[in-house]
């Protein structure tokens, strides 16, 4: 950096002397320095530079145990990923699947597929939990990482993961990847008599798995629009839809009139309180504010109203 | 008199059917108007002047010509005609766990030329669309640079910029069909593909502004979305044709496409063009992020996986006829399609009508640009015979689009990504078109 500044000053002096200008276009072209932007401070960089590399670059100070990770995982992760990392619905399976990679239906999990433990720390830190990214502390992230490694039998239950012992973790599929070596297929360009027509076997499409309503004659997308509680809808889509669209962890599905009629029997106030403060019962579990503590009580209430409106 | 009453009955039925498709609030008005019209039409038919349903056809003057249309800025930002309401992005809901981390497809069957309207560009989100305020948005350049920088949008847009037409494709395009055909529409077999004019600053310009330190080999691009989407890009690509893009098709990026700024890596798999770009870090090795290890790696039959498979190899598909565009009449037919290659220009496209027994070279239509959608076409004379339509593209490197059997032979069926094989449409004797695979 010092050198480039010196060069900058030198050229500046020359340019000023020659043309009497402060910064000449010739300087800008030569040095590729447009003088745009400002230097990012170490504090600014620290706030945003959250990536962790396989060699450990970027790991923050801290530690977390498998035991601490268990509680955090059950509260923050299990509703999507399952208590044992088995995955709910179509959400990612985190554990198991060993020796399935060359099978007809491979199960690509952290244990069976991921080549680096750093990726686990990095991804939890930047993107998890799904509804509240970048909300975990460094220690919590260490603990959850340790627990997911434990679910995959990569560490034992006494293990405490720290910045210093991170590099000792070796993932089972560390050697499972190779650099792109394509083109891997060569198709000779034949123009005539390329194959025996009688050898062609036609396999049809599996019926009924594609949305095709729009292909029917005269189909219309115009539907009647009732006034919508837009604020509630926005909150719902961001923070509630993940569970309430498909009934995860016993969540009443939005649009299911029967279930909602039952849930709203105690009155709207009770339903909203449950959504704000959280709830655990035989019929399911609702994390406080859906796990997104940045929502105000009013936001949650608006979302609940939206869900009830959509389920009448 | 008997004939008149029959016509009237038919017309009433038609009005009722059409009304059923309208929103309720419009339905009453429509029915009322229709009934008034019936009275008049019935009378007119009796004297042989107007035939039901043809009021706007010659020799009659259409209704829209007999009154004034709407004035300027009645719609300040123009919208497609209401008659094109079917021209929309669609998704296949069972593909993903929810819509926040999901994908939608462009309606390729209806698109013309090589530019996708921005509102129809396919969507792929890993954590939904963030609503970024451009005034509060910053682009950070850190890592192995002489001067770590922080740029505002205004500062970014003050660098010299350029515009290029390129396709963007998700590497999972077609990925549902490694094991067998299961999508009954072109929109779902190939719709994770769009083409746009992209305007931005060369990434090399910005990296030179920050000053790349010796030993640097990779650049990490990071998004400002809830997934903090990241990909490691080799420095060679970063300094070659990679752009930091702020505009698409002449206007600022759409939120779905990364407003206010995204990376754009021409010809490479879509997710490397990181949207809502907030940070670029220069380093000496890849970061092995989730989206370049656990996802977007190509698992082969032997259990080993190909990584850093960035380039979208040559591909093509016939867009008409296709399942959504069945053949409607015998005679001369304009067959059309799209071809594209992440390695450069499309050099040639061949078309087969008989499932690959014989091939004819199609015409390349309009602009033939590097790493861009390219139109091809051919005129065929169809007399109701069954067809097995295929297209096979060759790019300027000489690489020929492979058959599905050839791909499966070397990769197996578990790759998910980068399925660029020759596609087959089966045309039936009635003109209907099915998605099929050939063994």
Instruction: Report ipTM for this prediction.
Output: 0.87
Tell whether the model's pLDDT for residue B297 goes beyond 60: yes
Among B179, B187, B172, B251, smallest CA distance to B420 is for B172
- Nearest-angstrom CA–CA distance, B401 and B398: 10
Confidence tier at A18 by pLDDT (50, 70, 90): very low
| Total residue count of chain A as it appears in this document | 312
Break chain B into its structural domains and give their ranges. Answer: 2-62, 93-306, 315-436
Contacts of A197 in chain B (CB under 8 A): 354-355, 357
The pLDDT of residue A199 is: 94
* Cβ-defined contact of B435 to A205 (cutoff 8 Å): yes
For testing contact with chain B, the best of A36, A174, A254 (most B CBs within 10 A): A36
Among the partner residues A1, A126, A177, nearest to B146 by beta-carbon distance: A1
- Nearest-angstrom CA–CA distance, A128 and A107: 21
pLDDT tens-digit series, residues A196-215: 999 999 998 887 788 887 88
Question: How many degrees, rounded to 5, is the angle at CA B374 between CA B372 and CA B379?
Answer: 175
The pLDDT of residue A176 is: 98
The pLDDT of residue A310 is: 82
pLDDT tens-digit series, residues A211-238: 887 886 544 443 434 557 777 887 887 7
Peptide bond into A129 cis (omega under 30): yes
The pLDDT of residue A227 is: 59
* Cβ-defined contact of B184 to A212 (cutoff 8 Å): yes
Smallest CA–CA distance, residue A262 to chain B, in Å, is 25
From A14-23, A58-67, B374-383, the region with the lowest mean pLDDT:
A14-23
- Nearest-angstrom CA–CA distance, B195 and B319: 15
Residue B330 φ then ψ, to 5°: -80, 160
H/E stretch holding A280 reads strand A279-281
| Total residue count of chain B as it appears in this document | 439
pLDDT tens-digit series, residues B154-202: 999 999 999 999 999 999 999 999 999 999 999 999 999 999 999 999 9
Among the partner residues A90, A126, A215, nearest to B97 by beta-carbon distance: A90
Among the partner residues B90, B147, B434, nearest to A1 by beta-carbon distance: B147
* Cβ-defined contact of B227 to A191 (cutoff 8 Å): no
Residue B244 φ then ψ, to 5°: -100, 105
Choose the CATH number for B93-306 among 3.40.50.460, 1.20.1050.140, 3.90.420.10, 3.10.290.10. Answer: 3.90.420.10
* Cβ-defined contact of B299 to A180 (cutoff 8 Å): no
Cβ–Cβ < 8 Å for B322, B433: yes
* Cβ-defined contact of A187 to B401 (cutoff 8 Å): yes
* Cβ-defined contact of A91 to B281 (cutoff 8 Å): no
Confidence tier at B34 by pLDDT (50, 70, 90): very low
Tell whether the model's pLDDT for residue B45 goes beyond 50: no
Report helix, strand or coil for A19: helix
Which structure tokens are listed for B251? 């206007």
Over residues A69-78, the mean pLDDT reads 96
The pLDDT of residue A257 is: 83
Confidence tier at B40 by pLDDT (50, 70, 90): very low
Enumerate domains of chain A plus CATH numbers: 2-37 (no CATH), 63-168 (1.10.760.10), 230-309 (1.10.760.10)
Cβ–Cβ < 8 Å for B321, B361: no
Q: Identify the CATH class of B315-436.
A: mainly beta
Confidence tier at B121 by pLDDT (50, 70, 90): very high
Which of the listed ranges B91-95, B96-100, B212-216 does the model predict with the highest average pLDDT?
B212-216
Please provide the average confidence, as pLDDT, over all residues in chain B: 91
* Cβ-defined contact of A106 to B299 (cutoff 8 Å): yes
The pLDDT of residue B49 is: 64
Contacts of B158 in chain A (CB under 8 A): 34, 36
Among A99, A155, A98, A144, smallest CA distance to A122 is for A144
Among the partner residues B127, B205, B356, nearest to A133 by beta-carbon distance: B127
């Amino acid at each position: 950096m010092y050198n480039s500044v010196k060069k900058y000053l030198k050229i500046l002096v020359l340019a000023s002397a020659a043309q009497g200008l402060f910064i000449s276009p010739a300087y800008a072209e030569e040095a590729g320095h447009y003088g745009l932007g400002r230097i990012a401070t170490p504090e600014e960089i620290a706030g945003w530079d959250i990536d962790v590399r396989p060699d450990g670059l970027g790991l923050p100070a801290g530690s977390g145990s498998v035991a601490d990770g268990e509680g955090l995982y059950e509260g923050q992760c299990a509703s999507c990923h399952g208590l044992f990392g088995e995955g709910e619905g179509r959400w990612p399976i985190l554990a198991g699947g060993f020796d399935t990679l060359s099978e007809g239906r491979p199960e690509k999990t952290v244990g069976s597929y991921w080549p680096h433990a750093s990726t686990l720390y990095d991804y939890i830190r930047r993107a998890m939990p799904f509804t509240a990214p970048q909300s975990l502390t460094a220690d919590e992230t260490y603990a959850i990482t340790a627990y997911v490694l434990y679910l995959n039998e990569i560490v034992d239950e006494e293990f405490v993961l720290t910045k210093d012992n991170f590099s000792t973790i070796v993932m089972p599929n560390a050697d499972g990847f190779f650099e792109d070596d394509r083109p891997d297929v060569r198709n000779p360009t034949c123009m005539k008599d390329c194959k025996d027509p009688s050898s062609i076997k036609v396999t049809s499409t599996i019926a009924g798995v594609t949305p095709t309503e729009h292909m029917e004659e005269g189909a219309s997308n115009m539907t009647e629009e009732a006034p919508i509680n837009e604020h509630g809808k926005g909150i719902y889509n961001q923070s509630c839809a993940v569970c309430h669209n498909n009934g995860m962890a016993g969540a009443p599905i939005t649009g299911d009139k029967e279930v909602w009629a039952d849930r709203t029997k105690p009155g709207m106030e009770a339903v909203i309180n449950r959504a704000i403060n959280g709830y655990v019962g035989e019929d399911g579990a609702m994390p406080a504010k859906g796990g997104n503590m940045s929502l105000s009580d009013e936001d949650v209430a608006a979302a609940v109203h939206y869900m009830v409106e959509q389920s009448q | 008199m008997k004939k008149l009453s029959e016509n009237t009955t038919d017309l009433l039925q038609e009005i009722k059917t059409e009304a059923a498709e309208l929103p309720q609030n419009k339905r009453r008005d429509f029915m009322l108007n229709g009934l008034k019209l019936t009275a008049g039409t019935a009378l007119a038919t009796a004297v042989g002047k107007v035939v039901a349903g043809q009021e706007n056809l010659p020799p009659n003057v259409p209704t829209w010509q007999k009154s004034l249309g709407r004035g300027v800025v009645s719609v300040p930002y123009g919208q497609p005609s209401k008659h094109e309401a079917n021209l929309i992005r669609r998704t296949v809901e069972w593909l993903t766990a929810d819509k926040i981390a999901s994908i939608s497809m462009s309606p390729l069957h209806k698109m013309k030329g090589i530019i996708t309207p921005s509102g129809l560009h396919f969507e792929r989100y890993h954590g939904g669309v963030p609503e970024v305020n451009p005034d509060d948005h910053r682009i950070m350049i850190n890592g192995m640079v002489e001067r770590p920088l922080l740029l505002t949008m205004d500062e970014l847009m003050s660098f010299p910029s350029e515009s290029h037409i390129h396709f963007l494709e998700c590497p999972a395009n077609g990925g549902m069909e490694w094991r067998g055909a299961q999508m009954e529409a072109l929109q779902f077999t190939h719709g994770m593909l769009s083409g746009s004019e992209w305007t931005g600053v060369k990434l090399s310009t910005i990296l030179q502004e920050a000053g790349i330190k010796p030993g640097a080999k990779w650049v990490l691009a990071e998004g400002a979305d809830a997934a903090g989407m990241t990909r490691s890009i080799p420095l060679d690509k970063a300094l070659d044709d990679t752009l930091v893009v702020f505009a698409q098709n002449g206007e600022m990026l759409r939120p779905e496409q990364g407003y206010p700024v995204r990376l754009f890596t021409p010809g490479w798999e879509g997710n490397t063009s990181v949207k809502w770009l907030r940070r670029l870090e220069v380093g000496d090795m890849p970061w092995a992020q989730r989206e370049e290890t656990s996802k977007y790696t190509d698992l082969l039959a032997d259990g080993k996986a190909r990584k850093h498979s960035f380039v979208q190899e040559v591909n093509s598909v016939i867009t008409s006829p296709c399942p959504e565009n069945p053949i409607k009449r015998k005679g001369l037919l304009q067959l059309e399609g799209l071809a594209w290659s992440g390695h450069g220009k499309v050099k040639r496209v061949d078309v087969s009508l008989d499932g690959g027994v014989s091939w004819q070279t199609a015409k390349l239509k309009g602009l033939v640009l590097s790493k861009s959608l390219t139109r091809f076409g051919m005129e065929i004379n169809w007399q109701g015979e069954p067809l097995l339509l295929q297209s096979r593209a060759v790019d300027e490197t000489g690489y020929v689009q492979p058959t599905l059997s050839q791909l499966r032979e070397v990769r197996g069926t578990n790759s998910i990504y980068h399925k660029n094989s020759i596609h087959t449409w089966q045309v039936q004797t009635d003109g209907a078109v099915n998605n099929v695979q050939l063994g």
